[in-house]
Amino acid sequence: MNAKERILQLRELLDHHNHLYYVLAQPEISDFEYDRLMQELRDLEEQHPEMADPGSPSQRVGSDTDSSFVQVKHMYPMLSLDNTYTREEIEDFDARVRKALPAKKIEYVCELKYDGVSISLIYENGKLVKAVTRGDGEKGDDVTANVRTIRSIPLTLKTGNYPAVFEIRGEIYLPHKGFEKMNEERAEAGEPLFANPRNAASGTLKIRNSSLVAKRPLDCFLYYLPAEYPGFATHFDSITAARDWGLKVPPYIRKCHSLPEIFDFIAYWDNNRDALPFDIDGIVVKVNAYRQQQLLGFTAKSPRWAIAYKFKAREAVTKLLSIDYQVGRTGAITPVANLEPVLLAGTTVKRASLHNADQIALLDVRLGDDVIIEKGGEIIPKITGVKTENRLPDSRPVEFITVCPECGTSLIRIAGEAKHYCPNEIGCPPQIKGKLLHFVGRKAMDIGCAEATVEQFYNHGLLKDPSDFYSLSKEKLIKLERFADKSADNLLKSIEDSKQVPFERVLYSIGIRYVGETVAKKLASHFRSVDELMAATTDDLIQVGEIGDVIASSVVDFFSNSVNRAFIEKLKTAGVQMSSEGKKRTSDKLAGKSFVISGVFKQHSRDEIQKLIEENGGRNLSSVSSNTDYVVAGDGMGPAKREKAAKLEIPVITEEEFMGMVGEGIKKPG
Ligand code: IVH
């Protein structure tokens, strides 16, 4: 057999084992053997680039290139299903169907309603060519690159009698196990957790780097073939055929001929859904015969031949024993109820969220009350009501705490915000730990230090503020439990590397309230060094585009605090990048000059002009004032600005004149 034949043989073999493993969950060979075959295929494909095929089972790893999602129009609009919540509504649905199809025998198919993200797949000549999200129902995002990494979606179908071109729809979801693993990894990395598997699946599908998607254990069930001429008599036949072509069609499906059979199916899954390894939020009833579906047709929003029955959120009643108050990283206080343990949806619940003081007052929940708890899609259940009839006569409304349970500082409540805050940013332990974790985060200084390690350092008094990372030494580290020579070296290297992190990210890492990544970038390019930023007044700050009162005062407050200033000094001494000076600046031609740009330009975008101003040492301001040296005016500059500039006698220059100042000839079109 030559290499070419072996490649084709390996592809077929791997497709077969992939199907056994990911679609049928019945592997016949070991992981080791599978990996060995895959490696052989990869090696041969590398030696024979002329044999490249996007449908090859080796093409599942995704790519690092940023994939922006192009909008694609659906062949058939992606509609939703009407939701129902009661038996009566299912009876009404059945009555409507029978009325529209008098004297006909009706067969229904009952299926599970998978709680994920809907997807449309297009196969051409047995190859997956497109995967599109639902979007607005008319057009969705082309997420083919991401979907190709999902192992249970075949890139190449098994040989079979499939149409040359067809569409199949289904639901992409994350099984519970994969979801938990993903959240554990996020917790380790100090990243925010996903509230539930659906959010995690939808977030993952939107990642613009498919090689990252390939690492997440997404899965997919396919449940519907939309078609004008389906080539099958029934929906059931169509998905059974799709299963034979190698597609993952779920087995939880039943033909029903009467309402009692439908209700049985509903009751069965309402009772047993917790045993499934993925989330469902109801069941779907579909008229089976395609001919009957066509007679029933669609409303503007949904098919008349199908309906969803949504399960009720599971509730339980238990006693409220006490309330704890948790202090978050930003100082926000969250009341958490301690409950008498109760079984709910397969897990024992001991705690529930109470959100904030308003929520407690609204529910009028009191210690010792019998409370109703509900598990929705979120990780932690919530209290939704109180059985006031069981209330003890001497119960009193809850008095929300007035001081921080961690540091004793009086709490404040900012107008318009529901939460109470502990304002002791620099002395309150959970807030300090939060800042430390924020500092090491991937988007911040990217220091490879897990949450548990940060906690350990803090508890040993090694870290009081993030600048203390730079005073850690090998001697100090190896004295600690769980620290060996190698792990100490790795951490110290990672800390050393962080000294190269650019100023804009340092500014984000410092953890000034409201200074996120974008604001940090803006501030860093405007002020260029921490010293300049510290000297800025609220007015100076507001001059920077898109910086408003709240951010400006937050920055000024931060730097007016001597503890924070000492912290900044320590970072400087450690050698962390505290300025972008010398980084991008190409000349001093505009040094000391402030510009306001306005209108639309012919040869450059506003961003390009702003960049040129900064690169040549000038400053961008957002509004015309006596601090402005020049206004660069394009088409459509507002009359108010022009008037103000005239009044203050500020020169208004054209794009060409500006380019003359920075010594760049105007770009030639094209
Ligand atoms: S059939 C014309 N079957 O529920 C509608 N949908 O609100 C055809 N879903 O957008 C959809 N499980 O994302 C169908 N077994 C199932 C389903 C299902 C979940 C989702 C789907 C749809 C939404 C309807």
Structure tokens that stand for 374 in this block: 């509900």
- Residue 614 pLDDT greater than 90, yes or no: no
pLDDT in tens, 323-358: 999 998 889 999 999 999 998 876 788 999 888 999
Q: What is the C-alpha to C-alpha distance for residues 8 and 169, in angstroms, rounded to an integer?
A: 29
Identical fold for domains 429-500 and 594-662, yes or no, is no
The ligand 1 atom at the shortest distance from the C-alpha of residue 171 is 13
- Residue 546 pLDDT greater than 80, yes or no: no
Q: Please, which residues have CB within 8 angstroms of residue 86's CB and are 6 or more apart in sequence?
A: none
Q: What is the C-alpha to C-alpha distance for residues 425 and 554, in angstroms, rounded to an integer?
A: 12
114 Cβ below 6 A of ligand 1: yes
The CA radius of gyration of the chain, in Å to the nearest whole number, is 31
Q: What is the C-alpha to C-alpha distance for residues 69 and 144, in angstroms, rounded to an integer?
A: 9
**Rounded to whole angstroms, what are the CA distances from 67 to 143, 150, 212, 567, 591?**
9, 16, 12, 40, 39
Q: What is the C-alpha to C-alpha distance for residues 627 and 75, in angstroms, rounded to an integer?
A: 57
pLDDT in tens, 638-661: 788 888 899 999 999 999 999 999
β-pairing, 652-653 with 630-633? Answer: parallel
pLDDT in tens, 113-146: 999 999 999 999 999 999 999 988 999 999 999 9
Q: What is the pLDDT of residue 318?
A: 95
CA–centroid distance, residue 113 to ligand 1 (Å):
7
CA–centroid distance, residue 16 to ligand 1 (Å):
28
Q: What is the pLDDT of residue 414?
A: 80
Highest mean pLDDT among 247-256, 425-434, 480-489: 247-256
Nearest protein Cα to ligand 1, atom 22: 80
Q: What is the C-alpha to C-alpha distance for residues 462 and 476, in angstroms, rounded to an integer?
A: 8
pLDDT band at 97; cut points 50, 70, 90 = very high
156 Cβ below 6 A of ligand 1: no
The ligand 1 atom at the shortest distance from the C-alpha of residue 250 is 15
pLDDT band at 485; cut points 50, 70, 90 = confident
296 Cβ below 6 A of ligand 1: no
* In contact, 248 and 116? CB cutoff 8 Å: no
DSSP state letter for 248 = -
- Of the given ranges (452-466, 620-634, 642-656), which has the lowest mean pLDDT? 620-634
171 Cβ below 6 A of ligand 1: yes
* In contact, 67 and 210? CB cutoff 8 Å: yes
Question: What average pLDDT score do residues 209-221 get?
Answer: 93
* In contact, 666 and 603? CB cutoff 8 Å: yes
Nearest protein Cα to ligand 1, atom 2: 79
Q: Please, which residues have CB within 8 angstroms of residue 110's CB and are 6 or more apart in sequence?
A: 253, 254, 255, 256, 261, 262, 265, 266, 283, 284, 285, 286
Please give the class, per CATH, of domain 77-310: alpha beta
When the candidates are 3.40.50.970, 2.102.10.10, 3.60.20.10, 1.10.150.20, the CATH number that belongs to 429-500 is 1.10.150.20
90-111 residues labelled b (16+ CB within 10 A) or e (exposed): beebbeebeeebeeeeebbbbb
pLDDT band at 190; cut points 50, 70, 90 = low
118 Cβ below 6 A of ligand 1: yes
DSSP state letter for 22 = I
- Residue 585 pLDDT greater than 70, yes or no: no
Does the domain spanning 3-61 belong to CATH 1.10.287.610?
A: yes
Nearest protein Cα to ligand 1, atom 1: 224
* In contact, 168 and 175? CB cutoff 8 Å: no
Pocket test for ligand 1, best of 168, 284, 293, 302 (most atoms within 8 A of CB): 284
DSSP string, 406-469: TT-PBPB--TT-SS-B---TTT-HHHHHHHHHHHHSTTTT-----HHHHHHHHHTTS-SSGGGG
- Residue 388 pLDDT greater than 70, yes or no: yes
- pLDDT over 70 percentage in the chain: 96
CA–centroid distance, residue 226 to ligand 1 (Å):
12
pLDDT band at 629; cut points 50, 70, 90 = very high
* In contact, 515 and 496? CB cutoff 8 Å: no
469 Cβ below 6 A of ligand 1: no
Q: What is the 3-state secondary structure (H, E, C) of 558-610?
A: HHHCHHHHHHHHHHHHHCCCCECCCCCCCCCCCCCCEEEEECECCCCCHHHHH
CATH placement of domain 317-423 = 2.40.50.140
List beta partners, residue 303: 298
What are the helix and strand counts (H, E) for the chain?
24, 20
CA–centroid distance, residue 314 to ligand 1 (Å):
22
- Residue 242 pLDDT greater than 60, yes or no: yes
543 Cβ below 6 A of ligand 1: no
- Residue 184 pLDDT greater than 80, yes or no: yes
DSSP string, 376-399: -SSSS-EEEEE-GGG--TT--PPP
Pocket test for ligand 1, best of 114, 265, 286 (most atoms within 8 A of CB): 114
CA–centroid distance, residue 353 to ligand 1 (Å):
31
- Considering only residues 509 and 641, tell me which one the structure prediction assigns the higher pLDDT: 509
Q: What is the pLDDT of residue 66?
A: 63
pLDDT band at 33; cut points 50, 70, 90 = confident
79 Cβ below 6 A of ligand 1: yes
Q: Is 68 helix (H, G, I), strand (E, B) or coil?
A: coil
- Considering only residues 399 and 375, tell me which one the structure prediction assigns the higher pLDDT: 399
Q: What is the C-alpha to C-alpha distance for residues 573 and 576, in angstroms, rounded to an integer?
A: 8
- Considering only residues 664 and 373, tell me which one the structure prediction assigns the higher pLDDT: 373
The residues annotated as belonging to the active site are 113
For the chain, give every domain's residue range.
Answer: 3-61, 77-310, 317-423, 429-500, 503-574, 594-662
305 Cβ below 6 A of ligand 1: no
CATH placement of domain 503-574 = 1.10.150.20
- Residue 301 pLDDT greater than 90, yes or no: no
Question: What average pLDDT score do residues 270-281 get?
Answer: 90
Structure tokens that stand for 341 in this block: 């343990």
Question: What average pLDDT score do residues 290-306 get?
Answer: 93
Q: Which CATH superfamily is domain 594-662 in?
A: BRCT domain (3.40.50.10190)
Mean of all residue pLDDT scores within the chain:
90
Residue 663 CB neighbours (<10 A): 9
- Residue 548 pLDDT greater than 90, yes or no: no
93 Cβ below 6 A of ligand 1: no
DSSP state letter for 637 = -
DSSP element (H, E) containing 496: helix 485-497
Find, among 503, 537, 507, the residue nearest to 519 by Cα: 507
Q: How far is CA 443 from the centre of its chain?
A: 15
Q: What is the C-alpha to C-alpha distance for residues 323 and 242, in angstroms, rounded to an integer?
A: 53
CA–centroid distance, residue 117 to ligand 1 (Å):
9
Q: What is the pLDDT of residue 255?
A: 97
- Of the given ranges (142-146, 554-558, 578-582), which has the lowest mean pLDDT? 578-582
CA–centroid distance, residue 220 to ligand 1 (Å):
13
